[in-house]
């Protein structure tokens, strides 16, 4: 029997509780033993949920319960979540989270705390929701020198871009629709600003390079400036518009360029076929060539699927810890793509056009020579 406590009974937390119950026999078989949910911490009143008798608002009750070995954090953010996760590790509990902000901002320190105490700190659900991507990257591609990772990492923005392209919706219409389907939060600023995608490409780049890459190092541009004419240009010229997180590696495994920005993606690129709320991570390695992982990148059930996989893996590694992580980094310098050459899509009052391949630095110099500054520009992948 592995004793579990759940922090947060929101969308993801309630999904985890439900999944542990629904697929209990199956999960027990895979984990090699029963998973017993002992506490659910939430500031809300849980007396009308099926878990009323497990509810608590006092973290110290969980921290001090010797029968809790594993803590699943589904609070989100880096305030309370960081405090509780740190205390959980100090109390000798294994920790599982899908909190990308926590991992992107504090992964290295939490991983170090876990390592010191021979504890698991797992976070498969923090990138790509239910899509298996962190384990495959770390384990199955372990023999590869990686060149590049490119991901469609935010479902809300991909939904908006898909609607704008295929249904000629405006940005505002598409966003309203995303909200009405529950894809976008009431405050979707992290989605449309690229900040959410930024956290996820940081987690991927950290894992791939073995050194923490921080969101502050990442040039991040969102999708709010994309208009109907850009979409029409893409449509006519064989492109899709996608918000991409992109990390490029120098041998040996060092991330030297990382950024988030909308791109024109050629129709025959595998990322071009990733529509609606789906996410995908495309990876290029020296030996494997191109691989891509595709699926639902967010949502209650897919994220619960990833967390439950981490729970099973933790149950199988209670003493011999599973290592999936990276080391701290001293550097916080920006890893800007300014020297990365691309073909650029440029929108001027006269319409759209594509440039020759050039770096951002060259592009800026070139744009200044135009009679009027371009209204908008995007890289072509």
Query: In this chain, which of 296, 347, 377, 379 binds its own copies, going by CB under 8 A?
Result: 296
Q: Tally Cβ neighbours within 10 Å of residue 172.
A: 10
Cβ–Cβ < 8 Å for 114, 103: no
Determine the interface stretch with its own copies among 62-70, 173-181, 280-288, 341-349 (rule: CB under 8 A): 280-288
Q: Is 341 in the site for its own copies (CB under 8 A)?
A: no
Cα–Cα distances in Å, from 235 out to 166, 169, 254? 9, 14, 36
Q: Which of residues 91-130 bind its own copies (CB under 8 A)?
A: 124, 130
Token pair recorded at residue 116: 């010191």
Number of residues this chain uses to bind its own copies (CB under 8 A): 51
Query: What distance in Å separates the CA atoms of residue 58 and residue 237, rounded to the nearest whole number?
Result: 58
Nearer to its own copies, 140 or 216 (CB): 140
Q: Which of residues 297-336 bind its own copies (CB under 8 A)?
A: 299, 301-302, 304-306, 308-309, 311-313, 320
Query: In this chain, which of 253, 318, 340, 343 binds its own copies, going by CB under 8 A?
Result: 253
Query: What distance in Å separates the CA atoms of residue 254 and residue 264, rounded to the nearest whole number?
Result: 26
Catalytic entry in 200, 242, 316, 362: 200
Q: Is 273 in the site for its own copies (CB under 8 A)?
A: yes
Query: What distance in Å separates the CA atoms of residue 281 and residue 323, rounded to the nearest whole number?
Result: 21
Determine the interface stretch with its own copies among 55-63, 110-118, 133-141, 350-358 (rule: CB under 8 A): 133-141
Q: Is 275 in the site for its own copies (CB under 8 A)?
A: yes
Q: Is 19 in the site for its own copies (CB under 8 A)?
A: yes
Give least dist CB 293 to its own copies, A: 6
The H or E element that residue 90 is part of is: helix 80-90
Picking from 111, 134, 30, the residue whose alpha carbon sits closest to that of residue 321 is 111
Question: CA geometry: angle at 283 spanning 277 and 288, to 5°?
Answer: 140
Query: What distance in Å separates the CA atoms of residue 241 and residue 267, rounded to the nearest whole number?
Result: 10
Q: Is 11 in the site for its own copies (CB under 8 A)?
A: no
Token pair recorded at residue 171: 């940005």
200 is catalytic: yes
Query: In this chain, which of 58, 83, 116, 290 binds its own copies, going by CB under 8 A?
Result: 290
Nearer to its own copies, 78 or 318 (CB): 318
Q: Is 294 in the site for its own copies (CB under 8 A)?
A: yes
> Coil, strand or helix: which one is 266?
strand
Give least dist CB 377 to its own copies, A: 27
Cβ–Cβ < 8 Å for 361, 337: no
Cβ–Cβ < 8 Å for 162, 181: no
Query: In this chain, which of 53, 289, 371, 372 binds its own copies, going by CB under 8 A?
Result: 289
Cβ–Cβ < 8 Å for 315, 2: yes
Q: Is 33 in the site for its own copies (CB under 8 A)?
A: no
The residue assigned the tokens 């249904």 is 167
Binding site for its own copies (CB under 8 A): 19, 23, 25-27, 30, 124, 130-132, 135-136, 139-145, 252-253, 268, 270, 272-275, 285-296, 299, 301-302, 304-306, 308-309, 311-313, 320
Q: Which residues are the active-site residues?
A: 200
């Amino acid at each position: 029997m592995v004793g579990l406590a759940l922090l947060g009974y929101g969308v993801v937390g309630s999904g985890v509780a439900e999944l542990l119950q629904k697929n209990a026999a199956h999960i027990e078989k895979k984990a090699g033993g029963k998973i017993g949910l002992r506490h659910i911490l939430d500031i809300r009143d849980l007396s009308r949920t099926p878990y009323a008798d497990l509810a608590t608002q006092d973290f110290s009750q969980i921290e001090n319960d010797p029968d809790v070995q594993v803590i699943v954090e589904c609070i989100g953010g880096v305030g309370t979540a960081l405090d509780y996760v740190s205390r959980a590790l100090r109390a000798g509990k294994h920790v599982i989270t899908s909190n990308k902000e926590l991992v992107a901002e504090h992964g290295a320190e939490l991983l170090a705390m876990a390592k010191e105490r021979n504890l698991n700190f797992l976070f498969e659900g923090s990138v790509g929701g239910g899509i298996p991507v962190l384990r495959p990257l770390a384990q199955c591609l372990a023999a590869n020198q990686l060149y590049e990772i490119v991901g469609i990492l935010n479902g809300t923005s991909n939904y908006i871009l898909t609607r704008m392209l295929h249904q000629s919706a405006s940005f505002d219409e598409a966003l309203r629709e995303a909200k009405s389907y529950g894809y976008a939060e009431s405050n979707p600023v992290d989605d449309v600003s690229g900040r959410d995608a930024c956290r996820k490409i940081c987690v991927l780049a950290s894992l791939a390079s073995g050194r923490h890459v921080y969101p502050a190092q990442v040039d991040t541009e969102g999708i709010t400036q994309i208009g109907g004419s850009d979409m029409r240009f893409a449509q006519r010229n064989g492109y899709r518009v996608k918000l991409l997180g992109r990390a490029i590696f120098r041998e040996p495994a060092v991330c030297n360029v990382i950024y988030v920005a909308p791109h024109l993606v050629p129709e025959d690129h595998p990322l071009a076929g990733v529509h609606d709320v789906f996410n995908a991570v495309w990876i290029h390695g020296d030996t494997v060539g191109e691989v891509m992982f595709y699926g639902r990148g967010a949502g209650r059930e897919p994220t619960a699927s990833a967390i439950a996989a981490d729970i099973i893996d933790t149950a199988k590694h209670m003493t011999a810890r599973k290592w999936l992580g990276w080391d701290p980094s001293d550097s916080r310098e920006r890893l800007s793509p300014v020297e990365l050459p691309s073909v650029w899509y440029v929108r001027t009052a006269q319409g759209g056009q594509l440039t020759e391949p050039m770096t951002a630095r060259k592009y800026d110099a070139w744009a200044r020579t135009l009679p009027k500054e371009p209204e908008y520009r995007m890289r072509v992948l």
